[in-house]
Structure formats: structure tokens, C-alpha cells
Amino acid sequence: MSYHIFQSARAQIYSIPFYLTTLGPPLPSLSVPFSRNPRPHSPLRGSARVRSPETSHPARRSSPAAAWRICVIIERNASQSMMKRFVYINDDSSQDSYCDNRISNRKYTLLNFLPKNLWEQFSRFMNQYFLLIACLQLWSLITPVNPASTWGPLIFIFAVSATKEAWDDYNRYLSDKQANEKEVWVVKEGIRKHIQAQDIRIGNIVWLRENDEVPCDLVLIGTSEPQGICYVETAALDGETDLKTRVIPSACIGLAPEQLHKIKGVIECPNPDKDIRRFDGNMRLFPPFIDNDLCPLTINNTLLQSCYLRNTEWACGVAVYTGNETKLGMSRGVPEPKLTAVDAMIDKLTGAIFLFQIVVVIVLGFSGNIWKDTEARKQWYVKYPDEGPWYELLVIPLRFELLCSIMIPISIKVSLDLVKSLYAKFIDWDEEMYDHDTDTPSHAANTAISEDLGQVEYILTDKTGTLTENRMIFRRCCIGGIFYGNENGDALKDAELLNAVAKNVPDVIRFLTIMTICNTVIPVRSNSGAIMYKAQSQDEDALVNAAACLHMVLISKNGNTLEVNFNGSVIQYEILDILEFTSDRKRMSVVVRDCQNEKILLLSKGADEAIFPCAYAGQQIRTSVDAVEQYAQLGLRTLCLGWRELKDDEYEEWSHLFKEASTALFDREWKLAEVCQRLEHDLEILGVTAIEDRLQDGVPETIETLRKSGINFWMLTGDKQNTAIQIALLCNFISSEPKGQLLFINGKTEDEVVRSLERVLLTMRITSSEPKDLAFVVDGWALEVILKQYREAFTELAILSRTAICCRVTPSQKAQLVELLKSCDYRTLAIGDGGNDVRMIQQAHIGVGISGREGLQAARAADYSIGKFRFLKRLILVHGRYSYNRTAFLSQYSFYKSLVICFIQILFSLFSGVSGTSLFNSVSLMAYNVFYTSTPVLTSVLDKDLTEKTVMQHPQILFYCQAGRLLNPSTFAGWFGRSLYHALVVFFISVHAYAGEKCEMEELSMVALSGCIWLQAFVVTLEMNSFTILQHLAIWGNFVAFYVINCIVSTIPSAGMYAIMFRLCKQPSYWITMVLIVAVGMGPVLAIKYFRYTYRSSAINILQQAERSRGIILSMGTLESQLKSVEKDVASLSITQPKNRNPVYEPLLSDSPTATRRSIGSSTFDFFQPSRLSASYSRNCKNN
Amino acid sequence: MMNNSGASAAGSSSGSGEGQAPRRNSKRPKYSRFTQQELPACKPILTPRWVISVFTLVGIIFVPIGLVSLMASRDVVEIVDRYDSACVPPNMTDDKVAYAQNAAIDKTCTRILKVPKDMDQPIYVYYQLDNFYQNHRRYVKSRNDEQLMSAKKANDSSGCDPEATTGNGTIVPCGLIAWSLFNDTYSFIHGNKNITVNKHNISWKSDRDHKFGKDVYPKNFQNGALIGGAKLDPKKSLSEQEDLIVWMRTAALPTFRKLYGRIEVDLKANDTITVTLKNNYNTYSFNGKKKLVLSTTSWLGGKNDFLGIAYLTVGGLCFFLATAFTVVYLVKPRKLGDPSYLSWNRNPQGH
């Protein structure tokens, strides 16, 4: 609230001086004298200062009330003078205090790279741990192995991570550089020069040509259009695709381009903020330009960064915000490093292992000390001194700490980094995600978060340009009750319509006339003679073009006259008034005089609900209503057209009122609307047009598939509510009435909003058991109220609802919604294509940018950029799923293999007087961790449990990833148990087979090590699902490499294991032992796996069997047809039932009741907020 | 059940890649089977037939190997004689440590062994120590390999604490291991003939050649206040001190045997052998046992039933599992890959 007060106060500050100037002598900008140092050499400046003292007195005298208000304002002003900036137009020497226009998304600089990067790396627990271990190893008394065995990998790991970060940052630097070095025209010392965008300083005058991107936030001062307007496309900023009109401030009207070069003045504006809908500034020009006028500036006088100048030959403006301080830059926010759910889980498991390790260390340390005091003192050959140093009690525990430090595998970070970058490469390389139309391949900018793709629960999507193609096409129409275009889907090719046009059917002609005239389209004749239309709205553009195809061509619009060419004859109209479109009125009209018969016509078009009530009494509008409904169901955007002939005196009377209203100072919009209302009645409804805002290819299928896989969709758009709902209907986002229901949260006041929110919530709770597809719709204003004060209720709503449509939301609201879902502990994916989506993309766990027509803003900020929305399906179901599966296996396996070797060490220490002797030597340990066991498992990046086709056919399988079924404490417990078992097997078999005369230390250690290697090879083989040549190479090649390397090392006399390998290889007992270890180690694992696979199969297993037990070519056909019938029911159910997660997922759950992430979370580790688990409505308590 | 699905996958996808004229500067990713993750792959699944035959096969292989190993182990003849307590004079059984530490007492002890079966030469003579932690961390590290190897490093005694130096200088060979060298000796009389114990080549050749220097001679050894174990002949180089070399190969377990020598005559069943031994080594302070072992050897090594029994057990269990799985498979057959098992294809009304 305080923010609002502040805002309105500021608004007053600017408005009052403006009004005062109209009454008497002008009031100077209030704070100019306070905050700027006088600059004696500027004559313009001097005159401004001279004027200020003489003018301020009369103003204060004007009235006591005004004086008081001004005092208040001054006071506030003084306290807020920090919040303002003064921009001196065209004055290079004064603007040094502000930043230049260099955009920087970089994280590091050359100097701070090393400390900052190290600091960041060491903020992860694992790294701190490894550093501690490495430091401890420097103490030779306690170290069981060579310190190099930890320092080497540690330094390597850090180097790899740092290099990667540096590379990423370098790429960011390059893309910044590209934007920064773009050439722009800027006036310097009165001459227009070509400079780089980064050299724009505040106060510079920037010239833009048509289709130029605005390089920084500008205050418009001149355009090519005589009326002083220009058109901008703000899509990259707020997602709205229609062209917006920007006007030059009144003070600058009528300045010639030459004058604009020399213009001087000052602009007072607030300090940079991120509000893209508000700009409250003042402008004063210095003589010889218009004196004395303090001209207020609003957002309508600005050109904001990343907008495009359209339909205007040139425009120029004064830079007021630059670089990262622009409205867009401020709303960009600082990207946080993202951590995937898998990473978080790995960290937690690491923490658990760490605790376990501490326990082991304490127990062993204790018993070691006891053993030392009781037994070892008797062992004269150990020669324990009677009196040790004070730290002696610590030595054995610390030794065990070091011995057990391998429990947490140092290789896991390297392996994960490696495979993650490969996942990212696979995305980059994927041909099926390559967009032919725009020649863009997919790209993974963030290489670290692919697993999260497989765990997405919520997708928040932008609408324009993301779901739609952003191209409007006229498709159908209904004129006077006759439908055109229904047969072939294109009215322009409908012979009946063409006939009607040829026959001059009056209704059709009038219909076409409205299509052609009732708009704000500007026809432009290009050099070649062709006519191009410049439209603010894509719909109007589509209508005019369609009319032109039907031989009603808008030729020119000069001032108020308008010429139309119909079948070769030119008809002239005079535009009398334009009753503009507003989102409240939802219609627009024009009043024209037909120059042939001097009749005055009112032509209207608008939304059905805005036009039908204006129909004259008794008209049959039934067919039009039907048409609207029919078209809406097809997902077409409909507009109703109507007309009426006006009597001269009626118009004269109304025209007077209209002029009055359009000059009103207060409530102008409302007054205008009221006046328009007086004219727009008794219309004859001519018919309905239907325009297609084409969805991108495959959007409905993609959304349907992804929803089947259990992902919820929210649509966040800056666009209007109706359009949003239409598109939502069209792309399976929501279902129309009988199946689905939309619940609206709206209201004019806060109370109304709250009541409506409660009502919706109540409906949700009641109907949550019914098979109905509920979705709620909320607009930006209501959202602002709700997020500020009723967050809890809204959170509940968010949890209950699978679908939501939020329209007219600002970029920061989008980000807030993402944050809200994140705070409910859902994995969120935000997808968008414009600059207005950047914050949401950065806020979400995963940001996906569509590198589309709205520029590359979003794609640059996103973690993944794709060419088309439909690629999202593949990104999630194929890449996300595989990545998750692979990482789940890889990470658990990494722990498993470290635990095996560590358990063997622990077991050995029980046989070595609990003194902390390492069975294995440093080289073997290091090679085991870093090489022997890391390489084969890396090929799991090629592992595919199911083919891509199967996954696409059964998207439900994604649930395993979403719920984290493959990596959670219970699966981890399985691996833990396996490692313990394997350690026991390896150790006891080695010890027994190599007992007595053969139990030489080096030999036994090598036997145990090779036992581990043998087991690893088979474990990886058993856990891998598909074997390419690379897997075979890695697994068996590694196996061979183990022997080759060890044989080579065995030839080095100084090595501890000199000659060991050769001796072992010659012994039959060695090979027999190995085979025994494998059989005993793998037998039970295989048996259990087989039993589960066959008799307790998971859905993945079933699909694997289905996929492979039949021949592939044969199966896909038959299987498909078999499944299709079943799936049809399921598909319909899954759309209609908000609770369909229950029937779908409960059986999965019952397979292993503890296997979901969440249920485990509450019992073993306190991972998740208890409030959420206790909430009875929580949809994710899937076993309710 | 292995299907090579790669061929079909690759075949279907290559169609999409073709047909387009090679565009210049296209950003289209280059097609390769690796980048598209379409490498031909075989995807084995655990079908009952496959699993059952694996278990059967393992059983078929393991049982014979187990039998052979067990037989090999049974063929080995082994005489084990524990002498540590028996060799203590009856009057000193209460204080064995004092007995061991008293150098004045003659430690000679005579044991009579009976040969249970024919033993063919070579017969290996081992001493076995129980409860002796050669793998103790303090012990196992207390050596300096470089010093052992080369005469140049004679003064290098790093890591040898607490047996690194005496007042006279560096000990060679330094460290606890060498210091505690086993010093019991055995001599054998068969009938009335002395049996020579061949103490050559009882250590690893690699050790003699590359781990213990030919020019390194003992120095200051066992000169300290506390005498640990055997003394070394300062005239012989370390590479010839085979008892030391054997001892320095530390054992990984607290119960271990070390080779003492070889008897190169055949012994017949029911022969008696008289062993005259010097019971010098002190195992009494830590309740260690000392055993003398005479053993023949087989292709699998010494007498060790473990491998044979383990193989037979595993083989048996594999047969059992194979049978069990077969029975389950026949009694309760389950169709593989039936989509009706998919939870989302089941009738939702049931829930």
C-alpha cells in the first residue's frame, strides 16, 4: 500500500505545476535548483535559472490551499529528491553520473572471476567436504593414502567447473557484446553520427528508422509523421502484439528535423524502475524553443528498450534510461544459479551418507582407541609409546575419517558435469527439434538442469507467439444468416461468397465496406505500386486484406477522406469520427459520410457481447449468435459487424457532445464511452467474421500429451481475457462448457475480488471430486490484490486447480506466480518468447524460450531455447526423461561403488586391529574411483529404457520421473544394501580364498580390487537397458584396461604392487575366486531383479516387455491398435477429471508404497514443508 | 530375447533427413546416429527362459569346478603342530612372557610329528602365527623401501619410526617389521637322518631382484636397547637374507603362514619326524599362537576347502533357483508386456 501512496503523491507533484502553468506564470521544475550544480557556460541554462526566482512567487501566492499543497509537495520532494534524475537533452558534458548503455548479463569480470568462482564452488557442501578431507590428508600421521589421491581429483574438478563457468560467461559476454555494438544513429554535437549502442549516454538524441529495435528507454521528441505519432511494437516487452501509438510531447510538436538536432532542455523523471506501464516525467525545453512550458510526460511519450519502431519512417528520442537501468533491464532481475531437484536429492543423500560416515568414524575411532589401549600395548612389535601427545585420542578417529572419506565419491561431480553437458549436447544436436521455418536448432544454454525437465509438474506458458504463431488470417464469415467458408474452411475461396460479391448483394457489400473502413488501418503505396496496410491490430489487418481479396480495396486515407476501390469503381468516404476501441467497450465504430449520396453512416464492429445488445429491437440475431458460438468452438476469433444510417441532425447533436467529451480533463475515457454509447444503438447486425490466430503446429497435441503425463498448465498472458480464453479452448488447454468450467475471479473493488476468490475456491473444493475440467481465470488487477493480501487462499486455489488462465499480467506478476508455485514445492517450467517473459523464465526452475518473432530476448535469458512450442513435448518426454533416468542411475551407482570399496576398507580394519590400515594402495584407490568405475557408467548417457516412440505413446510414464521414483531415499537404500552385500562378498571370499600362506597384503588387496571391478562390470551390465557398441566397449574395454594397466604398473619395480598382477594371473585360484565373487554377488541381484521384473513389474517394465517381446515392426502396429481403444477412454478421462491422478497413479504407488519422493520425505528426512503434507486437499498426497 | 532395434530406428529416421537440398549455412544439426541417440542397440530383457537358463548354466559349470577344487584341496597333505604353549617348561606356564624374554633360558624344544599320508616332495615348511597383526597401521608402514633397495639411501630412514636410528646411526634395515623379524628355527630328523631344509628361493624372485638390494648390508641392526627378533648376518646382503624378505611381505590378516623352507624328500605315511626347534619368538605377551606347518601343494595352492565348498554351494543354489523359477513360471504364467497390466489402462472405476 505504501507504494501506492507514494506513487499517487508523485503523480500530484507532476500534475499540479502543469495546471498552474495554464493559470498564471509558469512554475519551474521544483527541484532543479536543489540538485543540479549551476553551469555558468551554458546560456540556455542560465536563462532558465534567471527565470525561476521571479516565477515562483506568484505561484505561491495564487491561493492558500495551493500554497499549502505545494509546501507539502516540496517537503515530499525534498525527501524524495533522491528518487529523481534530471536528463539534459543533447548535452554530453553533464551526464557522466549515469551509466552508459552497456548491457551486461555477465556474472564475473576478469578480476573477480577466481575468488568469486571459488567462493561459489565452496558454498556447496560437497566441495567443502572434499577440501577438508584434502587438508586433513596433508597430516601424514593420519593419512592412509597419498594426499595426491584427493588433491589431484579435487583440483581437476575445480578446474573443470571453473572452465565451464568461464566459458558460459564468455558466451554471455559475446551476446551482450553483439547487442552493445549494434550501430545506432545518435546526435553528437549537432551532427547525426553512427555510434555503437553501448556508447549512448543519457540525454543523447537517438534516431531510429522503421523496424529498428529501440536500444534504450527514450522520450520521444520527433517522428516522421506530421501528427507527431509513431507506432511501436511492444511485444518483446509486454507480449501485446498490436501496434501501439506513441505521441511526441506537446512541447515538441512541429519541430523540424534540423531543429531536433539542436534541441536543448531538461527532462525530470523518476529513478529507474521496472514498471513498464508508468512513466511520470516533466520536460522543459530551453529557449529558443518554446519557452515557459513545463510539459508533462507519460508512458505514451516513451519508446522503451526492446520495442520495435513500426510503420513510421523515423523517430527520435532522448535517452533517459540506459544499459541495465532501462525498464526492461530493471525487470530482468538477477538470474540465480539453478539447482535441479535431482541435485538437491543428491545433496541430501550425500548429507545422509555423511552422517552415516560420522557414525562409522566415531564407532570405529572409539573401538580403535580401546583396542589400542587393551590389545596393542601388549603387542610389543607395534611398540606403542606409553605416553602419547595430547592429540593421540584424535588420531585413530581422524584416520578412519580419511579412510571413509571415499564414501562420498569425488568422481560424482565430474561424472555428473560430464553427462549433463552431454545431455545438453544431445538437445543441441537433436534433428527433430530443429525448426525448418526459421532455421533454428534447439539449444540448451544451461547445461546443468536437464534432469529437471523430466520432473516438471507445472508449465507456465505465455500465449502470444508461444502457443500461437502470431499471424491472423480471415477464415470464415456469416453474412445475413448465410455461412461462408464452412465447407472448405476459407471464405475467400467460397464460390458462393464470390458470387454474392459479383452480384452486388447489398448485405454483403455493406459487410465488406465495414471490413474495409471500420478500422484504423493506414494504406501505404509502396514504390512498386502495391498497397500495403499498416495496422495497429493484426485482426484489422486480416479483415482489410480479406476485403481486398474480395475486390473491396482500401486505396488511400488522406486526412479525413478515404478511398475504396470496389470492382474498379472508386468510392470516397469522409471520416467524421472514430469511436475508438477500448477494452471496456470491446467495440469500435466509425462515423463516415458516403460522398456519393451524402448519407452519414455508423459502422461498428466488436465482440459479440458488445454488439448484440446494440441491435435494433426485433431483429433476428439468432443465426449470428449461432455463428459466433460455432466459430468460437472452432477457436476462431469472432467480430460482429453492424451498421446504422444516421440522420444529419442526430449526428450534429451527438457530434457536439462527442467533441466536448474528447476534450474533458477528468474521466475522459469514461465520458467518451458514455457518449459513444448514445450513438451505438439500433444497429443492424450484418454478420460475423471469424479470424484465425493460428496456433503453432502441434500445440493442442503437445498440450494434451503433456497433460496426460501429469503436467499442469497455466497460461500467463499480457493479452486480453477473451483472446486468452479463446486460445485456451483451441489448444486443449481448457474444455468448453459441458466438460469443463471456467471460474472467473474478477471485480471492480478489492472486496469484490475477494468475494469472487472465495466463491471460486468453494466451487473448486466442492467439485474437485467431479469429473469436470475446472480452470480459473484471473486478470492482472485482481491478481495484484490477491497476491498482496490473500496469498494463502490463492495458494490453495493453485494447488487445487490443474489449469489457470491469467490475463493482463505484467512481467513481474508472471514471475510472482512462478514463485508462488515454487513455494508450494512444485517443479515449474516457464515458456515464453518475449522480453516480458524473461523474469518468469529466470524465476522458474526451468526457463524455456521460443526463439521466435519477438526477438531473442527470451531465448537469451532462457535455459533452453527451442524453435516451436511443439518441441517442448520432446524436450520433456525424451530429453528430460532420459536425463533424469540416466542421472538417477549414475549418481546412485557412484555412491554404490564408493561404498563398496569403503565397506571393504572398514571390514579390513576389523581384521587389522582397528588401526586404520588401508587395504588398497593410493594408486588403486584413485584409479578405482576416477577411472575404473567411472568410465563404464558414463555410457549410461546412451542408455534408453524405452524407445522414444513408446514414451510418446505412453506419456503417463513420465510420472516415474516427476515423483522421483528412480532416485529417492528408498531406491538409494537398495543401492546401499547392495553395496554392503557386495563388500561382504568380495571381502570374505577374498579372505577365505587367500588365507594362510597366500594372504600377502598386496596380493589380497589386488584380489579384492579385481573382485570389485568384476562385480562392477556385471552390475553396470545388469542395470543398463540397452547396449550400443559404445556401452560394450566401455564396459568390457574398461575391464581389459584394468588388467592392462595393472600389468603395466606391475612392471615398475618401485611400485608397491610390483610383479603382483603377473603372479595373480598365473594362479588358477585367482580366476576361480573372481568367478565365485561374480556368481555370489550377482546371483541374488539377478534373481530379485527377475522376480520383480516379471511378477511385480512396474509400468516401465511392462512397456519394455511389450516393446521387445514382439518384433518391433510387427508390434508397433498391433500394439498401437490394441492400445488405442483403451487409451481413448483414458484420454478423455484424463482431460475431464481433475483428480485423474488417482486412478492413474495409485496403483503405481501401491507397488512400493514408500517410493514417492514426498511420502518418504515426511518420514525419513524432513525435506518438505510439513504444512503442505498435512493439508488435506493436497493433490499430491496421491494416496488419499 | 535380444532384438536389434537399431536397424529399424535408424531406417525410419533417415527418411526425414533426406530430400532437402543441402542448404548453405543451415544451422540444422548434422545427422549422425550418435548425435540422434540412435546407435543400434540390443536391448536384452529378463525373460523367464533366459534367466532360468543362466541359472542352470551356472549350476552346471559350478558343480564340477567345485568338485575338482575340493578334490585338489583334499589331496593336499598338511601337518599342523601348535607348539607355543607346549614348548614352555611346566614350571613357567604361569609366566610365559618372562620365559620368552629371559635370554638365559634355553628355548630348545622337541616335537614329534606323524605323517598321516604320503607326502611327495617338495614339502613346504611354514610357520603360522595367530593373532599377530602384521597389518597394523603402525607396523605395516614402518619400513623404507628405498633404503632396502639401494645402498645410496642407507641413511634414509623416513617412515621407520620408532626403529629408525640408534645411537650409532641409521638402522639398516630400519622399521618395526624388520626389527620384529621372526626368529624361531626348526630342524627336522626323519628316522635318524637329518632332513635338510632348503631355505633358498623361499622368497619371491621379484623381491630378491628388485626390492632388496644386493649391495645393501645390515647395519646397526638389533643394536638398540630392546631386541625385537632375529639378528641378521651383517656379511650377507639383504637380497640374500631370504627370511627377512619373506617376513617383510606383510600379511594382510592376523592369522598367516610364512614359508620357512622346503623339504626335498618324500615322506611316507606313518613316518615320524622329530622337530627340534628354538622357541625364541615371543607371542605370549599377546596370546598369539605359533604353529609349524608341513604341507604339500596342489594346482590350487595349499589345503583350502573353501573354494570347493563355495562352488558346490553356489552351484546347488543356482539349480534350486532355476527349478523354483521354472515351477513358478509353469504354475503362474504371466504374459510379458501385456498393456492391460499398465495401471492407467486398468479400469479406473475400481478405485
- Select the residue from A371, A381, A1122 to test the B interface by mutation, using most B Cβ atoms within 10 A: A381
- In this structure, are residues A1103 and A946 in contact, taking their beta carbons and an 8 Å threshold? yes
The torsion defined by the Cα of A560, A561, A564 and A570, in degrees rounded to 10, comes to 170
- Select the residue from A373, A997, A1101, A1127 to test the B interface by mutation, using most B Cβ atoms within 10 A: A997
For residue A1143, what is the nearest residue in chain B, using CA coordinates? B348
- In this structure, are residues A966 and A455 in contact, taking their beta carbons and an 8 Å threshold? no
For CA atoms B4, B8, B11, B14, give the dihedral sign: negative
For residue B101, what is the nearest residue in chain A, using CA coordinates? A380
Angstrom CA distances, A847 to A114, A802, B73, stand at 28, 20, 67
For residue A1099, what is the nearest residue in chain B, using CA coordinates? B342
Q: Which of B9, B302, B346 sits opposite A1147 (nearest CB)?
A: B346
For residue B313, what is the nearest residue in chain A, using CA coordinates? A1080
Q: Label each residue of chain B as H, E or C.
A: CCCECHHHHHHHHHHHHCCCCCCCCCCCCCCCCCCCCCCCCECCCCCHHHHHHHHHHHHHHHHHHHHHHHHHHHHCCEEEEECCCCCCCHHHHHHHHHHHHCCCCCCEEEEEEECCCCECCCEEEEEEEECCCCCCHHHHCCCCHHHHHCHHHCCCCCCCCCCCEECCEECECCCHHHHCCCCCEEEEEECCEEECEECCCCCCHHHHHHCCCCCCCCECCCCCCCCCCCCCCCCCCHHHCHHHHHHHCCECCCCEEEEEEEECCCECCCCEEEEEEECCCCCHHHCCEEEEEEECCECCECCCCHHHHHHHHHHHHHHHHHHHHHHHHHHCCCCCCCHHHCHHHCCHHHC
Residue A356 annotated as binding site: no
**d(Cα A11, Cα A16) in Å, to the nearest integer?**
9
pLDDT given for residue A186 in this prediction: 86
CA distance B246 to chain A (A): 10
pLDDT given for residue B293 in this prediction: 93
> Is B41 in contact with A1028 (Cβ distance < 8 A)?
yes
Angstrom CA distances, A871 to A349, A685, A846, stand at 33, 43, 15
User: Which residues in A493-525 are b (16+ Cβ under 10 Å) and which e?
Assistant: ebeebbebbeeebeebbbbbbbbbbbbbbbbee
Q: Which residue has the higher pLDDT, A641 or A693?
A: A641
pLDDT given for residue A981 in this prediction: 96
Q: Give which of A271, A365, A243 is closest to A10, Cα–Cα.
A: A271
Chain B 322-341, residues with CB within 8 Å of chain A CB atoms = 325, 328, 332, 334, 336-341
When pLDDT is cut at 50, 70 and 90, the band that residue B123 belongs to is: very high
pTM to 2 decimals? 0.77
Please state whether beta strands A773-779 and A803-807 pair in parallel, antiparallel, or not at all (unpaired).
parallel
- Count of Cβ atoms closer than 10 Å to residue A905 Cβ: 25
Q: How many CA atoms does the CB half-sphere of A364 hold within 13 Å?
A: 30
Chain A partners of B285 at a C-beta cutoff of 8 Å?
A: 378-380
Between A537-551, A726-740, A822-836, A1028-1042, the lowest mean confidence (pLDDT) is in: A726-740
Instruction: Find where cell 626368529 sits.
Output: B183
CA angle A989, A993, A999 (to 5 degrees): 110
The CA R_g of chain A, rounded to the nearest whole Å, is: 37
User: Which residues in A215-226 are b (16+ Cβ under 10 Å) and which e?
Assistant: bbbbbbbbbebe
Chain B partners of A375 at a C-beta cutoff of 8 Å?
A: 286
Q: Does B192 touch chain A (CB under 8 A)?
A: no
**d(Cα A905, Cα A907) in Å, to the nearest integer?**
5
> Is A1130 in contact with B17 (Cβ distance < 8 A)?
no
Mean pLDDT, all residues of chain A: 78
Give me the mean pLDDT over the B179-197 stretch.
89
Residue A658 annotated as binding site: no
Which residue type occupies A470? N
pLDDT in tens, A540-553: 888 998 988 888 88
> Is B8 in contact with A1113 (Cβ distance < 8 A)?
yes
Chain A partners of B47 at a C-beta cutoff of 8 Å?
A: 1109
- In this structure, are residues A484 and A478 in contact, taking their beta carbons and an 8 Å threshold? yes
When pLDDT is cut at 50, 70 and 90, the band that residue A666 belongs to is: low
For residue A1137, what is the nearest residue in chain B, using CA coordinates? B348
pLDDT given for residue A83 in this prediction: 61
For residue A431, what is the nearest residue in chain B, using CA coordinates? B29
pLDDT given for residue A332 in this prediction: 64
Q: Label each residue of A30-80 as H, E or C.
A: CCHHHHCCCCCCCHHHHHHHHHHHHHHHHHHHCCHHHHHHHHHHHHHHHHH
| pLDDT of A363 over the 90 cut | yes
Between A15-29, A309-323, A450-464, A757-771, the lowest mean confidence (pLDDT) is in: A15-29
Chain A partners of B250 at a C-beta cutoff of 8 Å?
A: 1000-1001
> Is B345 in contact with A998 (Cβ distance < 8 A)?
no
Q: Which of B206, B252, B300 sits opposite A1058 (nearest CB)?
A: B206
Between A522-536, A1056-1070, B66-80, the lowest mean confidence (pLDDT) is in: A522-536
Chain B partners of A1061 at a C-beta cutoff of 8 Å?
A: none
> Is B128 in contact with A996 (Cβ distance < 8 A)?
yes
pLDDT in tens, A982-1032: 999 999 999 999 988 888 899 999 999 999 999 999 999 999 988 999 999
For CA atoms A143, A144, A148, A153, give the dihedral sign: negative
Q: Which region holds residue A551: left if phi is over 0, alpha if psi is between -120 and 50, else beta?
A: left
> Is A1107 in contact with B307 (Cβ distance < 8 A)?
no
> Is B343 in contact with A1104 (Cβ distance < 8 A)?
no
Instruction: Find where cell 452519414 sits.
Output: A600
- C-alpha cell read off for A763: 466451487
**d(Cα B211, Cα B133) in Å, to the nearest integer?**
23
Q: Does B345 touch chain A (CB under 8 A)?
A: yes
B188 Cβ contact partners less than 8 Å away, ≥ 6 residues apart:
B125, B194, B195, B197, B263, B273, B274, B275, B276
Mean pLDDT, all residues of chain B: 84
| pLDDT of A6 over the 60 cut | no
pLDDT in tens, B295-332: 999 988 888 899 999 999 999 999 999 999 999 999 98
A462 noted as active-site residue: yes
Q: Which of B251, B286, B350 sits opposite A379 (nearest CB)?
A: B286
Residue A814 annotated as binding site: yes
CA distance A1101 to chain B (A): 8
Chain B partners of A910 at a C-beta cutoff of 8 Å?
A: none
Chain B partners of A882 at a C-beta cutoff of 8 Å?
A: 37
> What share of chain A in percent tops pLDDT 70?
82
Backbone angles phi, psi at A729, to 5 degrees: -65, -40
Chain B 37-96, residues with CB within 8 Å of chain A CB atoms = 37, 39-48, 51, 54-55, 58, 62, 65, 69
When pLDDT is cut at 50, 70 and 90, the band that residue A882 belongs to is: very high
Backbone angles phi, psi at A516, to 5 degrees: -80, -35
Residue A650 annotated as binding site: no
pLDDT given for residue A555 in this prediction: 86
Q: Report the complex ipTM.
A: 0.91
> Is B140 in contact with A1001 (Cβ distance < 8 A)?
yes
pLDDT given for residue B25 in this prediction: 63
Order across the sheet with B289-295: list the strands.
Answer: B78-82, B289-295, B123-130, B256-263, B197-198
pLDDT in tens, A1130-1176: 433 333 333 333 323 333 333 333 333 333 333 333 333 333 333 33
